[in-house]
Structure 1
Amino acid sequence: MALAFPNPSRNYDEARHGVRFSGHDGMFEISFLVEAAVLSKHQPQQTPLSEQQYLSVFDAMRSSIQEAASEMYSSHRRPTNTLTITNFR
């Protein structure tokens, strides 16, 4: 079964400095974290983004983030995954 993202929920993880979201592979929930550096790269300002700004950038990039998450998951099928800037080149 292919990875799906039926739940649009996401939240900022201050401790890991990134945005968490999940996908589903059948009945299994797959966790993802997209590092803040990925989201910051798409903002022209030099100052650190606020939590709300990170979430807004995530929402704007959602389709490319989910595409990168699907590619990552298809190669190793781990229950927990971290997307870094290298996943978006």
Structure 2
Amino acid sequence: MALSFPNRSRSFIDARKAVRFLGHDGMFEIPFFVESGALLKSASPHATEAECLLAFDAARGLIEDVAQSVYSSGHRSLYILTRSDFP
């Protein structure tokens, strides 16, 4: 099955400075993290939850496309998307 994103929820994980969201491959739930440096032009260690969530929401389509691409290149139990994963 292909990776899909039926659940629109996302959350900010302060300890990781990343936004967490879920993909689904059939009955399997696949966790993804997008680092704040990939979301924001300035990769500040002081990025706020609000800034990261707004940036995530604005780029959700691109983020899901990148997640799909990364997922299709090899299955793991957890994915961390960084700035280098984005065009």
More helix by share: 1
RMSD: 1.6
User: 1:59 maps to what in 2?
Assistant: 57
Q: TM-score, normalised by structure 2?
A: 0.92
Q: TM-score, normalised by structure 1?
A: 0.90
Aligned-pair CA distance for 1:48: 3.9
Amino acid at match of 1:74: S
User: 2:10 maps to what in 1?
Assistant: 10
- SS of corresponding position for 1:16: coil
Verify the 8 A CA contact 1:29 1:79 in the aligned structure 2: no
Verify the 8 A CA contact 2:4 2:25 in the aligned structure 1: yes
Percent identical among aligned pairs is: 48
Q: Distance in 2 between matches of 1:77 and 1:47?
A: 29
Q: Aligned residue pairs: how many?
A: 86
Aligned residue runs from structure 1 range 30-69, under 5 A: 30-41=30-41, 48-69=46-67
User: 1:74 maps to what in 2?
Assistant: 72
Aligned-pair CA distance for 1:47: 8.9
Aligned-pair CA distance for 1:88: 0.4
Q: Distance in 1 between matches of 2:68 and 2:12?
A: 20
Q: Encode CA deviations 1:9-57: one digit per residue, 9 max, x unaligned.
A: 000011111100000000000000000001112x7xx794321111011
* Structure 1 portions without partners, runs of 5+: none
